[in-house]
Structure 1
Amino acid sequence: MALEARIQNTAALFPDAVKGINLIYKAAHSAGVPGNTLELVHLRASQINGCSACVDSGARNARKAGETEERLFAVAAWRETPYFTDAERAALALAESATRLADRSDPVPDEVWDEAARHFGEKELAALVLWIATTNFFNRLNATTRQPAPQHWG
């Protein structure tokens, strides 16, 4: 049974918030991290948080960015597949750690951070962290207000 949304588009109720969100989006996407990597990170965090709207939009945006169905289907099991580069794996591990903060006493262990730092410079790491935090922000808004994935026909 599908649940009904409690509020329609929470962020849109606050136009000033939308302006700020757009600036965060622009900043995260301007630091040099490949767009498809950001989309994979967004998709993985959204899967963990069970945000159907963000999983849907994340997969669709990743496809628009050139992602293959094979890679998209494997994001949840990225460790067990050969489809991702070492840099993408490092970004996905960082996304998982930063999303599951309460799962361990050291939420983002040095080995996760250091591996990400091997593949991304300081500005790119900051953009990844900003994007992961933004994804988690949207996941929490959408899950709390029960925002459904849109129905697509055809």
Structure 2
Amino acid sequence: MTQRMEIGKLVPEAYRAMAALDRFATQSTLPKGLLDLVRLRASQLNGCVYCVDMHSTDLKDAGEADNRLHALTVWQEAPFFTDKERAALALTEAATKLTTDDVTDEVWDRAAEHFSEQELATLIVAIATINAWNRIAVPTRMTPESYK
């Protein structure tokens, strides 16, 4: 597939605003590895090859184990994730699949057990941001590895 357009060149102000949201989450107290798992899982759900490539590469470069990367699509059944990561991934899936479900009280309460209110608010912003990035990258067909 050929990339359709470069959003960053056409609307640089919007692109910088999106990048600022990413920086906000990355500079928070949430572990970068957790944020990258969230970003990767949302991107898998949204079918965003650009973001799947980027975040799996980031995780691998940071030393993430292959078994965790390979099992992320089936994290509910895999024994490789902590309760905190599971709570973040459950919230990610619920907030990403808003067209088919809601973020249930059970999912919310589980996340609230593992994250402070500030962290939970930041996690919501991070999930919303990666979903927005996916909605930019998929229709414009951003090409894998073009971020390098």
Does the alignment reach a TM-score above 0.5? yes
> How far did residue 17 of structure 1 move?
2.1
* 8 A Cα contact 2:7 2:15, kept in partner: no
Unpaired stretches in structure 2, ≥5 consecutive residues: none
**TM superposition outliers: structure 1 runs of 4+ over 3 Å:** none
> Share of identical aligned residues, percent?
45
Which stretch shows the higher mean deviation, 91-100 or 9-18? 9-18
Offset of 1:13 from its aligned partner? 2.5
Residue 109 in 1 paired to residue 104 in 2? yes
Contact 1:35 1:65 in 2 (8 A): no
Gaps of 5+ in 1: none
Post-superposition offset of 1:126: 1.0
TM superposition shift of 1:10: 1.0
CA RMSD of aligned residues (A): 1.4
Taking the aligned partners of 2:82 and 2:11, their CA distance within structure 1 comes to 39
Partner of 1:77: 74
- TM-score between both structures, scaled by the size of structure 2: 0.92
Quote the residue 1:4 is aligned against.
2
Cα pair 1:94 1:112 within 8 Å, conserved: yes
TM-score by length of 1: 0.89
Note the alpha carbon deviations across 1:68-121, whole angstroms, 9 max, x for none: 1111111000011100000000000000000000112xx100100100000000
**Count of paired positions:** 146
Does the CA contact (< 8 Å) of 2:76 and 2:86 recur in 1? yes
Partner secondary structure for residue 102 of structure 1: coil
